[in-house]
Amino acid sequence: MLLVSAPILGVPEKTALSKVIDSGWLTMGEQVKAFEEAFANMHGAQDCVAVSSCTAALHLILHALGIGPGDEVLVPSMTFVATANAVLYVGATPVFVDIESADVPLMSIVEAEARCTARTKAVILVHFAGYLANREEWQKFARARGLQIIEDAAHAPGLKEVGTFGAAAAFSFYGNKNMTTAEGGAVIARDPKLLETIRQARGHGMTTGTHQRLNSRTPQYDVTMLGFNYRMDEMRAAIGLVQLQNLQEWNEIRRILVMLYRRLIAKHCPAVTVPFH
Catalytic (active-site) positions:
177
| CA 39/CA 61 separation, integer angstroms | 18
Q: Find, among 47, 35, 249, 62, the residue nearest to 152 by Cα.
A: 62
**Dist. CA 205–CA 225, nearest whole Å:** 5
Q: Are residues 207 and 224 in contact, defined by beta-carbon separation less than 8 angstroms? A: yes
3-state class (DSSP) for residue 49: strand
CA-to-CA distance for 120 and 67, rounded, in angstroms?
10
User: Whole-angstrom Cα distance, residue 56 to residue 60?
Assistant: 6
Q: How many other C-beta atoms can be found within 10 angstroms of the C-beta atom of residue 145?
A: 14
